[in-house]
């Protein structure tokens, strides 16, 4: 009975190991492509002003070439037909957030990074432990190791 249980356990462990190895070696999909490019006019959006700590409601935000070109009270500017218009009613515009402690994996560009962007995180500080590999990280780390 004990031998049969040991054999079944060994088979199950082997199946799990082969499955994990197969998943790790499986080719990864291509990272997501950049989003919609162009110039945008976000209408009637609430803008979070981090300098004053206030929320300015019913504002219009114009983006040109991926940069904020203007922020002004809603409805004051004429509609520029060259801009892609987005209704921002009930939405907020905030400065990009930073996650100051992340651990990226090999699959980060395909799976983790799009989730950061979708949740307003536009910058990360990766805390993965590769700084002590030769040729990676600041030179003072390598000098300290060799002395």
Give the CATH number of the domain where residue 59 resides: 2.30.40.10
Percentage of the chain exceeding pLDDT 70: 75
Please tell me the number of Cα atoms within 13 Å of 119 on its side-chain side. 10
Give the total number of structural domains in the chain: 2
Q: Is the pLDDT of residue 147 over 50?
A: no
Q: Is the pLDDT of residue 25 over 70?
A: yes
Both 78 and 117 in a single domain?
Answer: no
Tens digit of pLDDT for each residue in 38-74? 789 999 999 998 889 999 999 999 998 878 899 999 8
Tens digit of pLDDT for each residue in 108-123? 777 778 888 888 888 8
- Which residue from 41, 57, 117, 53 is spatially nearest to 91, judged by alpha carbons? 57
**DSSP category for residue 38:** S
Tens digit of pLDDT for each residue in 87-146? 999 999 988 888 898 887 766 777 778 888 888 888 888 887 554 455 555 554 445 545
Residue 120, domain member (yes or no)? yes
Q: Is the pLDDT of residue 14 over 90?
A: yes
Residue 28, domain member (yes or no)? no
The rounded distance, in Å, linking the Cα atoms of 72 and 64 is 15
């Amino acid at each position: 009975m004990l031998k049969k249980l040991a054999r079944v356990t060994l088979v199950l462990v082997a199946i799990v190991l082969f499955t994990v190895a197969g998943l790790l070696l499986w080719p990864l999909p291509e990272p997501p492509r950049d989003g919609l490019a162009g110039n945008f006019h976000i209408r009637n959006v609430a803008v979070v002003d981090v300098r004053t700590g206030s929320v300015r409601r019913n504002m219009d935000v114009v983006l040109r070439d991926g940069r904020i070109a203007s922020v002004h009270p809603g409805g004051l500017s004429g509609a520029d037909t060259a801009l892609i218009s987005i209704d921002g009613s009930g939405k907020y515009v905030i400065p990009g957030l930073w996650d100051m402690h992340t651990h990226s994996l090999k699959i980060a560009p395909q799976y983790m990074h799009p989730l950061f962007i979708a949740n307003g995180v536009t910058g990360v500080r990766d805390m993965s432990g590769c700084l002590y590999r030769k040729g990676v990280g600041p030179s003072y780390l390598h000098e300290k190791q060799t002395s």
